[in-house]
Amino acid sequence: MSATFMDRLVDRIARRPGGMIGRLLYRHPAGHKTSFDMTLDALGPTPDDHLLDLGCGGGVFLERVLKTGASAAGLDHSPDMVDESRRRNAAACAAGRLTLCQGDVGRLPFPDGAFTRVTALNAFFFFPDPQAAVAEMARVLAPGGRLAIVTTPPEQAAALKRYFGPVASRMRLDAPEVLGDWLRAVGLVPGTVRPVRAVGYLITARKPVMPATTGAVIEMPGFHGLITGRIGDLLVVEADVTGAIPAHTAQGAELVVVLSGELHARVDGTERVLRQGEHALIPAGASHGATVAGPTRLLLIGPPE
């Protein structure tokens, strides 16, 4: 069999499914059920959420998302898959709770921040430009939104070949560390990585409410901060504080150093006065806020909020 024939076969059954066999396979993607269960568990969509599923196939995962009360959109480059998704979820489409479109993940036809959840399940390994896809996912995700990708790591290449033969050699296998770096590069904060069945993993990430790239400015009433660097996943921020910082929850442990002035910090209800050169470590999950006695300059090291 020629490579061209194999390429066409892989397209037909997995990379751009179509025809009778392609349609049948993604009407009942039994092998993907675990990834659907785990993704729903990780992202916990609610009726307030608007979820985008990329490479949505026959729309089985979308059907489960809609059952949670969330609204959704699905995108796939296969016209037959878009049609299958539409048939399966006809009532939700008619009710305006689901929109479907044919398109490529490298150029999403959605405005910035349109979705609170974005998923790409068992499809990322076919996306031709993974970094462009990740950038698009980050762009359409709203601040505070979360994404989930289910894909396969390189060390599973041999097992994959045993299970999926010619399909396996046409999949790009990305290590979770590499994918994590791509997510960070577009301002997302990678979360957990969990194995999915024998050959896959689920990685989650969140879009911080505030910008998370070096050089970005964080502007809030009474607070002007500049992200001056990173230490691993932590941001280094230099900030001038002139007013009250309202109470908020620390996403992770956070170090506060007073460079000049005087900070009256409240951490979980306890007040502490910090003067020049003094510091406090805010534990992850603590509610904290502050007032200042006059203009105060701080160095903050912590995770993106």
β-pairing verdict for 234-241 and 270-275: unpaired
Size of the site for ligand SAM (CB under 6 A): 22
How many angstroms separate the Cα of 291 from the Cα of each of 81, 148, 161, 235? 55, 38, 60, 22
Restricting to residues 45-74, which ones interact with ligand SAM according to CB under 6 A? 55-57
Among 17, 45, 153, 261, binds ligand SAM (CB under 6 A): 17
How many angstroms separate the Cα of 37 from the Cα of each of 52, 68, 121, 293? 16, 12, 11, 51
Q: Which of residues 83 and 104 has its CB atom nearest to ligand SAM in the complex?
A: 104
Q: Cβ distance 277 to 254 under 8 Å? A: no
Measured on CA atoms in the order 118, 120, 126, 131, is the torsion positive or negative?
A: positive
Maximum CA extent, the chain: 78
Among 10, 12, 15, 202, binds ligand SAM (CB under 6 A): 15
Binding status of residue 164 toward ligand SAM by CB under 6 A: no
Q: How far is the CB of 18 from ligand SAM (least distance, A)?
A: 8
Q: Which of residues 15 and 146 has its CB atom nearest to ligand SAM in the complex?
A: 15
Q: Which of residues 16 and 184 has its CB atom nearest to ligand SAM in the complex?
A: 16
Q: How far is the CB of 186 from ligand SAM (least distance, A)?
A: 17
67 alpha carbon, distance to own chain's centre? 21
Q: Which of residues 19 and 128 has its CB atom nearest to ligand SAM in the complex?
A: 128
Q: Which of residues 6 and 280 has its CB atom nearest to ligand SAM in the complex?
A: 6
Q: Which of residues 35 and 296 has its CB atom nearest to ligand SAM in the complex?
A: 35
Among 40, 43, 81, 300, binds ligand SAM (CB under 6 A): 81
Binding status of residue 88 toward ligand SAM by CB under 6 A: no
Q: Could you give the CA distance from residue 97 to residue 50 in angstroms, rounded to a whole number?
A: 9
Q: Cβ distance 60 to 89 under 8 Å? A: no
Q: Which stretch binds ligand SAM (CB under 6 A): 86-94, 126-134, 173-181, 205-213?
A: 126-134
How many angstroms separate the Cα of 213 from the Cα of each of 134, 139, 157, 243, 273? 16, 14, 34, 24, 30
Q: List interacting residues with ligand SAM (CB under 6 A).
A: 14-17, 26, 29, 32, 55-57, 76-78, 81, 104-105, 121-123, 126-128
